[in-house]
Amino acid sequence: MELFYSNHTEGGVIVLDAEESAHCVKVLRHRNGDEISVIDGCGTLFRAVLEDADPRGARARITGSESNFGAHPYRLAMAVCPTKNIDRYEWFAEKATEIGVDVIAPVIGDHSERKVLKTERLERLVKAAAKQSLKGAIPTILQPQSVRDFILSVPDDALKIICYCFDGNKRTIAELLSPAGPSAGDSALPEIFILIGPEGDFSTEEAELALSRGWVPVTLGSSRLRTETAAIVAVTQVYSAF
Amino acid sequence: MELFYSNHTEGGVIVLDAEESAHCVKVLRHRNGDEISVIDGCGTLFRAVLEDADPRGARARITGSESNFGAHPYRLAMAVCPTKNIDRYEWFAEKATEIGVDVIAPVIGDHSERKVLKTERLERLVKAAAKQSLKGAIPTILQPQSVRDFILSVPDDALKIICYCFDGNKRTIAELLSPAGPSAGDSALPEIFILIGPEGDFSTEEAELALSRGWVPVTLGSSRLRTETAAIVAVTQVYSAF
């Protein structure tokens, strides 16, 4: 199934932007009367019939919709320090979207070698990954912020998990999440925040701030994982717990 | 810690090949008397002291060794159909090595679009990944073979898992592996084989052959995953079960 994206509706009509319109009309050669499937990026899948196959601004009349399309039964925000090699971070964002993530927060730590990150490419990547993996919701990419600001921004009552390399008795994500299972509804979805540090790990001050704010240190197992691999292992462990 | 690789020892002396020697002597500028760490690719880490810093064939005297260096408490063979885009397969091989895998078997299915795969690049990638993630063992890359031949090659008493998209009541990898935990010793390590199909999934004949040979169908969850993502989710679920 080919999915298009648009968050622009006028009454009962969906309007595709120039890029999506060109893909729909020029590449896939859809014509008036064809039924297309469009996600709004917020979780809804629309069925719609093309009534103006304009390659610069195609319009389709909505004939049906499905909410929570391809949704997962949890809310997961991954705060991950950008890697030196940005390809590895983009790979993490794409794979996390396929598996199931809601928010990706690039965070800059005291030991981060990369202090800046442009989010435009990430936004394009996760949109394509959401469409490819048949999900109605596209993960939100936050603007880069410091690890400290992110720690302080998270609500007290959320489950807050920090993966870091310091020694100490740590639990696993599975232990923290079990017994887990699909919840009653959106309002009841468990909110999970996971923080993954840079190649140089968190500074002692960052780790102490997190612990003082109720973040729970976990181990991802005995293997020594790169930042982006640790992030995907954490996403998979959350995904697998539900 | 910087690891070198060599499977060539003469008495109590390790001999590095030209590539490793150049990296050790020219790039890292090690000199006679320096202690270096060398993996043999089969699980052992050697401590050795350089006694001939030859950039084409450095030699170091072994002063100590550690077996099962960075080892995981299971034996996992991942048989995965090559992806159309080979970068995605190479990415899977690198990440699986970091997380923990022992054998990577490129298998060609009836619905595989890619029927050939050169393994030289994969071998270099997993060697680099093993060194980077501090593992003494380097995964074995098998030569490409058909899905049928692989199914028939696996011992009857091993745990054989097939991930495919056909409907039907399926269990999860965690259910099949629990209760799991570190085993008594190498001889007792659980042997796990996991088969992941191509973009077009397995043919009915391939799936029926696997089921007739005792392969257990599992689900990797509700997300629609690309071949290489499914493979990494499976590796992570095995890794997380121990």
Q: Do A45 and A103 reside in the same domain of the chain?
A: no
The residue-averaged pLDDT of B173-198 equals 76
Give A-chain residues touching B92 at CB under 8 angstroms. none
Task: Flag whether pLDDT at A90 surpasses 60.
Answer: yes
> Among B150, B131, B152, which residue's Cα sits nearest to residue B142?
B150
Task: Choose the weakest-confidence range: A103-117, B173-187, B226-240.
Answer: B173-187
Of B72, B99, B133, the CB nearest to A233: B99
Quick check: B38 contacting A, CB < 8 Å?
A: no
Q: Do B99 and A174 touch (CB under 8 A)?
A: no
Give B-chain residues touching A236 at CB under 8 angstroms. 232-233, 236-237, 240
Quick check: B31 contacting A, CB < 8 Å?
A: no
State the DSSP code for A188.
Answer: G
Judged by phi (left if over 0) then psi (alpha if -120 to 50, else beta), residue B151 lies in: alpha
Task: Flag whether pLDDT at B178 surpasses 80.
Answer: no
A217-240, pLDDT tens digit by residue?
999 998 999 999 999 999 999 999
Q: Do B62 and B89 reside in the same domain of the chain?
A: no
Q: CA quadruple B55, B60, B65, B67: dihedral positive or negative?
A: positive
Nearest-angstrom CA–CA distance, B123 and B142: 10
Domain count, chain B: 2
Nearest-angstrom CA–CA distance, A87 and A96: 14
Taking CA–CA distances from B239, the nearest residue in chain A reads A221
Q: Is the peptide bond before A82 cis (omega within 30 degrees of 0)?
A: no
Of B100, B174, B225, the CB nearest to A223: B100
Confidence of residue A178 (pLDDT cuts 50, 70, 90): confident
Which stretch of DSSP H or E encloses residue B11? none
Tell me, what's the pLDDT at A185?
A: 47
Q: Do B21 and B101 reside in the same domain of the chain?
A: no
Domain boundary among B49, B66, B83: B66
Asked if A97 and A139 touch (Cβ cutoff 8 Å), the reply is yes
Read off the CATH number of the domain in which A9 is found: 2.40.240.20
Among residues of chain B, what percentage have pLDDT more than 90? 86
Domain boundary among A66, A93, A120: A66
Tell me, what's the pLDDT at A44?
A: 95
Q: Do A124 and A28 reside in the same domain of the chain?
A: no
The residue-averaged pLDDT of B4-30 equals 95
B62-72, pLDDT tens digit by residue?
999 999 999 99
Quick check: A83 contacting B, CB < 8 Å?
A: no
Q: Do B31 and B97 reside in the same domain of the chain?
A: no
Among residues of chain A, what percentage have pLDDT more than 70? 95
Among residues of chain A, what percentage have pLDDT more than 90? 86
Task: Flag whether pLDDT at B186 surpasses 70.
Answer: no
Give the ipTM of the model, two decimals please. Answer: 0.88
Asked if A196 and A234 touch (Cβ cutoff 8 Å), the reply is yes
Read off the CATH number of the domain in which B223 is found: 3.40.1280.10
Question: CA of B52, closest CA in chain A: separation in Å?
Answer: 31
B207-216, pLDDT tens digit by residue?
999 999 999 9
Q: Do B79 and B55 reside in the same domain of the chain?
A: no
> Residues near B72 by Cβ (< 8 Å), separated by ≥ 6?
A222, A223, B100, B239, B242
Paired residues of B108 in beta bridges: B146
Q: Do A104 and A215 reside in the same domain of the chain?
A: yes
Quick check: A239 contacting B, CB < 8 Å?
A: yes
A134-160, pLDDT tens digit by residue?
999 999 999 999 999 999 999 988 999
Q: Tell me the pTM.
A: 0.91
Domain boundary among A49, A66, A83: A66
Q: Is the peptide bond before B144 cis (omega within 30 degrees of 0)?
A: no
Range of the domain at A228: 75-241
Work out the mean pLDDT of chain A and round it to a whole number: 92
Nearest-angstrom CA–CA distance, B202 and A240: 23
Give A-chain residues touching B180 at CB under 8 angstroms. none
